[in-house]
Amino acid sequence: MNDPQGRSTVLITGAGRGLGREFARQYARAGWRVIGTVRDDRSEAALAKLGVEVHRADVSDRRSLARLAARLKSAPIDVLVCNAGIYGPRGARLGKLDYAGWEEVLRVNLFGPAATVEALLENVAASDRKVVVMMSSRLGSISESKGRDYLYGSSKAALNAIGKAMSVDLAPRGITVVSLTPGWVRTDMGGREAPLGPQGDRRFGGVEVRSVLQLRWRGGGVVAGKIGTLARARNTG
C-alpha cells in the first residue's frame, strides 16, 4: 500500500471531528496522503469528501487496532498523529469522582495512543520522516494544575510521561516522538467559549499543519508547546 504518487503519508486517529478533521483537511490540502480513523458512518462520509482514506478503528480496542494494521500492511506512515481522545464526565471533583468514567478516559486517552503506536510502529519506522505526535493538553501540566481536573488532566499528564519514555526508547530507530498542545479550541470537547477556532489563530497558535511538516529533528524528543509555535521549539529529548 505504498503511495503510488510518492506522497508523504499521515495517519490521524479520531479524524472524524474537531481537531482531527482539521488536521486531515490541512494535510490533504498540502498534498499528503491522509489516512483517518473514525468510529461512525457520519464521520466517515465527512472525511471522504476531503479525499481522506478512511478506516474504522477504535483506539481503546487493541483487536480493532490489529485489524487496522493488517489492512495497512507495510505501508509507511511518515507522521502518526495520536489524536483520538475524550474528556469524560464533566463536573467530577474530589469527593464525587466517577471512577468508571475515569477508567474510560484512561483507556482512550492513555492506553489508546500507546496501543496505536505499538500496532503501527513498523509502519512509522519504514517511513522517511518517522514522527509520532501525541496530542496532549495544557491540562496535563503538573506545574500549572489548578486542581479539579482529575480525569482528563491525569490522562494527559500520563500521556506526556509515556511520550517521553517512547522518545528515549525509539531514538535508536531514528523516530521522533513529540507531545503537543493545541491550546483551548472550539470543538465538541473544547466548547463554544474557547478562544481558538480549529483552523488556527496566528495570534495564539491553533492548529497549523505547517509546524508538523517542519519537524526535522534527529532522534527522539518530547516537545511541549502550542502547535503554532512548534517550529521554533527545541528538541528537549
Residues marked active site are found at 152
Taking the C-alpha atoms of residue 165 and residue 44, their distance in angstroms, rounded to an integer, is 33
- Residue 130 exposed, middle or buried by CB count within 10 Å (0-12, 13-18, 19+): buried
Cell representation of residue 108: 482512550
Taking the C-alpha atoms of residue 193 and residue 203, their distance in angstroms, rounded to an integer, is 17
Neighbours of 74 (CB within 10 A): 10
Longest Cα–Cα distance of the chain, Å, equals 56
